Chains A and B, each alone.
Chain A
Amino acid sequence: MGLKGRDIISIRDLSRDEIEEVLKGTRRMIPYADGSKAGHQLEGKLLMLAFLEPSTRTRLSFETAMLRLGGKVASIQDPLSSSVKKGESLHDTIRMLSAYGDAIVLRHPNEGAGRLAAQASEKPVINAGDGAGQHPTQTLLDLATMQEAFGTLSGLRVVLLGDLRYGRTVHSLAHALAVFGAELVLASPPTLQLPEEVREDLDHQGAKVEEVEQLHQAVRDADVLYVTRIQRERFAEEAEYAKVAGSYRVDNALLSGAKSRLIVLHPLPRTTEIAPEVDGSPHAAYFRQAFLGVPTRMALLSLILTGKAA
């Protein structure tokens, strides 16, 4: 066991114990992430950033994590002017990056690119999102936020709300929550329900899964309300989108029936799914969640590059 030198491509690559190790490391990294302590854990280490698709948040949080721990980053600045545009295969691009740095972070438009990169690279690869596919560090930071709020993941009642069909990060999250014995409640428009095969996979894991039609019912006894973006482009007609988006809007009226300890999470960026008025409510945890992206990535980088996160 141990995460040193490991690729992190899918949340499925991590055992329950390994996920717990990352979550423990995340808690220890918080003072380094908020600047109250100066970190030197990754001095002398160089992280290669290959963001071959636009990303602000994820890229910046990996950079911040590395710099706050005394490490350095080098990156492909603009995929449009790089060799990728000239027709070089991802395989070859990754081979080159792996010769230069100590680890690689990859964001790529095609699903499965992370796995391919891990095969091509001699250094550890972290998948920072491949197309509509896997984004394991997002799942880890989602878990870290729930863990911080409740001290545990097992037995939590988690409502997954919104686009459960195409939002594949939700699939990884559902898988991980099932590993920890959380209860899942699915709330989505009929056209955006969890794909059958993913549902079967959860059943196969022995997960407790419920589907609900009425959101206010689901919210009443939930611990976590995990909201995803409903993507406009998934709808043929604007009116259909407006109807669906309207029926899945989280506002203070909806939350008035919730348990006091309920937290609302969202991977961000949000559009209209969460009303701005919720930001001031004690339930809102999505900005904390965004912050925890940094210590989560610090812990992971530290574990992968040095074998420890302290």
Chain B
Amino acid sequence: MRELKITPIKNGTVIDHIGNGLSLEVLRIIGVRDLDKDSTVSVALHVRSQKLGWKDIVKVENMELSPRKVNAIALIAPTASIAIIRDFKVSEKRVVDLPDRIVGVVRCPNPNCITNQKEPIESEFEVARRRPVVLRCTYCERLVDDFLRHLA
């Protein structure tokens, strides 16, 4: 039996096959600060992978990712696979699939955009191109390719 680098979790989410070095951005999307204080978050950096060569893995106890967060992860880690764990078993697998619209995850980098003023609205982007991903702000139409720097 092979040695486990991270111990199994009872309930929570495992995000596997994250591109090498991208796990910290994934954690930002999950919003580690919002988690239950008693939950363990494990991050494995630079793990051997047959599929990717090297990969990162994130395991979060006691949290199931909402579809919106799954979609946001697709922005950063399109190769990722997500498993929801209940009672030590994989109870659900969610496919990471970049949607046509990204709501509330990325801030518009244009400081003069109406979404950066005091208006009762969330940021919203259309996926303008997929490979590589380029977003277009639904409001000001600014094209954004360095969205990692503008996570909300």
Contact = CB atoms under 8 A, between A and B. Distances in A.
Given A116-B139, A133-B141, A197-B134, A91 B120 contact: yes
Given A91-B121, A116-B139, A197-B134, A110 B114 contact: yes
A110 B139 CA distance: 10
Given A10-B141, A90-B119, A91-B120, A111 B112 contact: yes
Nearest to B143: A197
Interface residues of A, number: 24
B128 A111 contact: no
A112 B115 contact: yes
Interface string B103-131: 00000101011110111110000001100
A200 B143 CA distance: 10
A167 B115 CA distance: 21
User: Interface size class for chain B?
Assistant: 20 to 34
Contacts, number: 63
Given A90-B114, A116-B114, A204-B129, A111 B142 contact: yes
B142 to A, nearest CB: 7
A10 B115 CA distance: 17
B138 interface: yes
The B contact surface, by secondary structure, is loop
Contacts of B134: 197, 200
Interface string A230-249: 00000000000000000000
A135 B109 CA distance: 21
A197 B135 CA distance: 11
B100 interface: no
B120 A112 contact: no
B145 interface: yes
B76 interface: no
Interface of A: 10, 12, 89-91, 108-113, 115-116, 119, 130-134, 197-198, 200-201, 204
Interface of B: 108, 110, 112-115, 117-121, 128-129, 134, 137-143, 145
